[in-house]
Amino acid sequence: MLSTEYIHSVISLKIDELSFNREPAELYEPIKYMMNLGGKRLRPALCLLACDLYGADIAEALNPAIGIEIFHNFTLLHDDIMDQASMRRSKETVHKKWNQNVAILSGDTMMAMAYEYMMKTPEKVQRQVLLAFNQTAIEVCEGQQYDMNFETQWNVSIEDYIRMIRLKTAVLIAGSLKIGALIGEAPREESEKLYKFGENIGIAFQLQDDLLDIFSDEIKFGKKNGGDIITNKKTFLYLKAFELADRKKQDELIHFFSPDFTNIDEKVNGVKQIYQQLDLKNITATEIKRFHQAAMVYLDDLNVAGTSKSELRKVADNLMNRKY
């Protein structure tokens, strides 16, 4: 079993090597910029780890793993336009640094490049890999649409929310693992178990994000708490709070989230206080644990030596235990 550290170094080397020096420069410069912003590179790492689990050469999965990372960055690029976000990983977003048209078109090109790299698989698994990737790509778009719908939709249930984050976040993590397993020529049931493992980890990961937005170490997290509150995002904490709140607290939440409420500090503190009163830190942590444990059942159930699962377990644990 290769270590996660080694796998990350392979991915970094490959991304550094990528030639974005094609013409026209106006199109490829923002792509290079986006790919070099860094990030956890979680998805390609999971893809390679899954491939390695079945004793295959990770070199065979490296191009598709990069394709997944390009696709992930494409979604961030277009999401930043849609969210009108000005910063990404402490740097200016592409549509701010250049302009919106450049951001749309560079994103489109990244999507085509993602497929270009995804095609560079051993021919015998290519069809399955592409089908898995393509379904994932469509589902991620669907998830983003649900997320946008929720901005103006009042009756969002926790179930709706979990479905949305499953599509927007979890399926790409799940798909990365499945694609790695397919390239490793794992049996079908194995690749499906890895998919389910990834799906549950992905949901737990997003819930953790929701939690950290409110209850994290601001210095280590690198940004102030409450970003989701300020932008009126209907996160798990918000939806659960609304579900648990009595009439009086519900009115307070509605009041804080109304467009007329412009005092940001008062808003963040007020909402945070309600979350604390309703014990949402623990409730959310319990929910995260639930999805994490569900993931572990799928991991335990894999038909490979116990020791070789340890790296995947470590990645999952790190994602759950991160404090920022």
Q: Taking CB under 8 A as the rule, does residue 148 contact a copy of itself?
A: yes
Backbone φ and ψ for 202, nearest 5 degrees, come out as -65, -40
Q: Which of 42, 49, 137, 177 binds a copy of itself (CB under 8 A)?
A: 137
Report the distance separating Cα 214 and Cα 209, nearest Å.
Answer: 9
Give residues 217-246 in contact with a copy of itself (rule: CB under 8 A): none
Considering only 36-44, 100-108, 222-230, 238-246, which stretch makes contact with a copy of itself by CB under 8 A?
A: 100-108
Q: Taking CB under 8 A as the rule, does residue 104 contact a copy of itself?
A: yes
Report the Cα–Cα distance between both ends of the chain, in Å, rounded: 28
How far apart are CB 72 and a copy of itself at their closest, in Å? 13
Report the distance separating Cα 301 and Cα 318, nearest Å.
Answer: 20
Q: Taking CB under 8 A as the rule, does residue 105 contact a copy of itself?
A: yes
Considering only 1-9, 104-112, 275-283, 306-314, which stretch makes contact with a copy of itself by CB under 8 A?
A: 104-112
Considering only 11-19, 136-144, 211-219, 284-292, which stretch makes contact with a copy of itself by CB under 8 A?
A: 136-144
Closest CB to a copy of itself among residues 102, 283: 102
Q: Taking CB under 8 A as the rule, does residue 23 contact a copy of itself?
A: yes
CB-CB contact of 181 with 302 (8 Å):
no
Q: Which of 107, 198, 202, 226 binds a copy of itself (CB under 8 A)?
A: 107
Give residues 49-78 in contact with a copy of itself (rule: CB under 8 A): 78
Handedness of CA 23, 39, 205, 57 (dihedral sign): positive
Report the distance separating Cα 43 and Cα 27, nearest Å.
Answer: 25
HSE at residue 196, side-chain half, CA atoms within 13 A, is: 15
Q: Taking CB under 8 A as the rule, does residue 85 contact a copy of itself?
A: no
Tokens 């038909």 belong to residue = 303
Report the distance separating Cα 146 and Cα 98, nearest Å.
Answer: 28
Q: Which of 131, 158, 264, 297 binds a copy of itself (CB under 8 A)?
A: 131
DSSP 113-128: HHHHHHT-S-HHHHHH
CB-CB contact of 197 with 170 (8 Å):
no
Q: Taking CB under 8 A as the rule, does residue 146 contact a copy of itself?
A: yes
Closest CB to a copy of itself among residues 7, 125: 125
Contacts of 224 (CB under 8 A, 6+ apart): 218
How far apart are CB 69 and a copy of itself at their closest, in Å? 17
Closest CB to a copy of itself among residues 137, 320: 137
CB-CB contact of 164 with 146 (8 Å):
yes
Backbone φ and ψ for 200, nearest 5 degrees, come out as -70, -40
Q: Which of 63, 126, 232, 308 binds a copy of itself (CB under 8 A)?
A: 126
Q: Which residues are registered as beta bridge partners of 91?
A: 88
How far apart are CB 39 and a copy of itself at their closest, in Å? 20
Q: Taking CB under 8 A as the rule, does residue 24 contact a copy of itself?
A: yes
Closest CB to a copy of itself among residues 136, 191: 136
Closest CB to a copy of itself among residues 95, 309: 95
Q: Which of 113, 212, 229, 315 binds a copy of itself (CB under 8 A)?
A: 113
Q: How many helices (H) and strands (E) does the chain have?
A: 17, 2
Report the distance separating Cα 220 and Cα 29, nearest Å.
Answer: 31
Q: Could you give the C-alpha distances from 174 to 170, 171, 197, in angstroms and in order?
A: 6, 5, 7
List contacts with a copy of itself (CB under 8 A): 22-24, 26-27, 78, 81-82, 101-102, 104-105, 107-109, 111-113, 115-116, 119, 123, 126-127, 130-131, 134, 137-138, 141-142, 144-146, 148-149
